Amino acid sequence: MSGIRTPTLLLGARYDFIPAFTYDTMHQQLPNSRVYICPAGSHFAMWDDPQHYFPALISFLKKPARRGQLPTPEHLPL
């Protein structure tokens, strides 16, 4: 995965069956990645936590090249 240079958003959810540490592992291997974990979401966070999912996605689409964590939910624009 370290050869992937495309900006990548790793968008997970707190109640997903995919453990949060999986996103951290992928983030460490993807040089241009950002991670956001929806605090109230499940595997379908776009439906059960849209108030966090969509602002995180839009923030990434506006500035995809910045590596690291997305802002916390209260700092994302709605």
pLDDT digits (tens, 9 = 90+) for 43-66: 999 999 999 999 999 999 988 655
Q: Is 44 part of any domain?
A: yes
DSSP annotation of 44 reads T
* pLDDT at position 67 over 90: no
Q: Is 65 part of any domain?
A: yes
Which structural domain range is residue 46 located in?
8-71
- Model's pTM, two decimal places? 0.76
Q: Is 35 part of any domain?
A: yes
Q: What angle do CA 2, 32, 64 make, to 5 degrees?
A: 150
